[in-house]
Amino acid sequence: VWREVLGREAGVTQDFYGLGGDREHAERVTALLAERSGRELTISELFEHPTIERMAAHLREEEHGSGPLRVLRGQGSKTPLFFFHPGGGDTTVYTQLTQLLDPAVPVYGFDRLEGVSAVEDRVRRYLPELRAVQPHGPYRLAGWSFGGFLAFETAQQLRRAGETVEVLAMIDSIIPLPNDTGLSDVELTERRFERFGEFLESSYGRKISLNYEKLARLDDESQVRLLVDTMQAEGLVNSAVSGAILNHQRTSLLDTRSLERYLPRPYDGPVSFFSARDLTPGGLRDHRFDRRDPARGWDAVCRDLDVITVPGHHLSLLDPPNVDEIGRRLNVVLAAARLAAGR
């Protein structure tokens, strides 16, 4: 299919957009793949799996009914730990952290679901797979950034179903601040896209021609579509920015929207909150998430909150050497829960 559409040979590990693919090519590829595989396929899926190797694996997984659950470490006799993906990413970010945890603890990860927006709806899709691994509690849940919100909502839904959650660990998950800037939501969105344009220019030396005001007034998917189309039309995808980077920006944007629409309800179970000691570098900060309080807003929601300050800023917590301290402290939390339960 790639050969037919692109008019050239392609290696199985080469990036579709790096080979000159644009939106028109993507539409033709997904249409042909859908016709020949017998299932619906979207351009979003091509962004997420932009090589022949990855798309083939994706289609095989779909054929065999594979879901979002990833096994990070399958061995172990103790109660498993479930991680949840951060915004725009997958649970491979927890690979190093998993290696630092008690080897007797099996570790699983829930990856991003395409086409499911609300946090509550994502969790409802996760729960059957979680229960297939562990039918009943006590459960152990954890997540970094957006993943902490998914872990929190999973805990809420499990407890409403009568289950026990003995560990809920959130790694610097920040409740958005109220909009007290005097700007409308549209104006705030416009500012965000302006910052993304500045990021492209500073990181890749390329400017992008976007009407930020027009972009901000569109719905989420239309914003992403216009952004992608503009970057492709101006040659940014083929040269400066890979399809993988573009897809990360796309999914990060959509996950941020989901987070801002989520309202955490009061929670009276134990919560371990890992709070970054340092500020995120200025150019990467977003006003809505620029909280300075160590609890990041969770003290207004969680009755039994233990704030654990760890070295690093929000984006560096899972990198060495900062991840070593998180691993050490999370092991303490897991061991304490096991001791309290008498296991």
CA dihedral of residues 246, 317, 287, 179 (deg, nearest 10) = 100
Sign of CA dihedral 278, 245, 216, 213: positive
pTM for this prediction: 0.73
Amino acid 73: pLDDT: 93
Amino acid 50: pLDDT: 84
- Residue carrying the six token digits 């990833």: 70
Amino acid 240: pLDDT: 46
Is the N-terminal amide bond of 321 cis, ω within 30° of 0? yes
CA distance 255 to 113: 10
| DSSP 8-state secondary structure symbol assigned to residue 14 | S
Burial class (CB within 10 angstroms; exposed 0-12, middle 13-18, buried 19+) of 314: buried
As averages over each run of 10 residues, the pLDDT of the chain (343 residues) reads 89 84 84 76 76 80 68 92 92 94 96 88 95 95 98 98 98 86 65 68 68 72 73 63 62 83 96 94 67 94 98 93 97 95 76
Taking a C-beta distance cutoff of 8 angstroms, is the pair 92, 98 a contact? no
CA distance 295 to 236: 39
Taking alpha carbons only, the member of 87, 53, 92, 99 closest to residue 71 is: 92
Amino acid 165: pLDDT: 98
Phi-psi region of 172 (alpha: psi -120 to 50; beta: other; left: phi over 0): left
CA distances, 156 to each of 24, 112, 123, 309 (Å): 43, 19, 10, 24
> What domains appear along the chain, each with residue ranges and CATH number?
2-63 (1.10.1200.10), 69-175+264-340 (3.40.50.1820), 185-259 (no CATH)
Amino acid 233: pLDDT: 73
- The DSSP secondary structure of 92-153, one letter per residue, reads GGGHHHHHHS-TTS-EEEEPPPTT--SHHHHHHHHHHHHHHH-SSS-EEEEEETHHHHHHHH
What six digits make up the tokens of 285? 């900060």
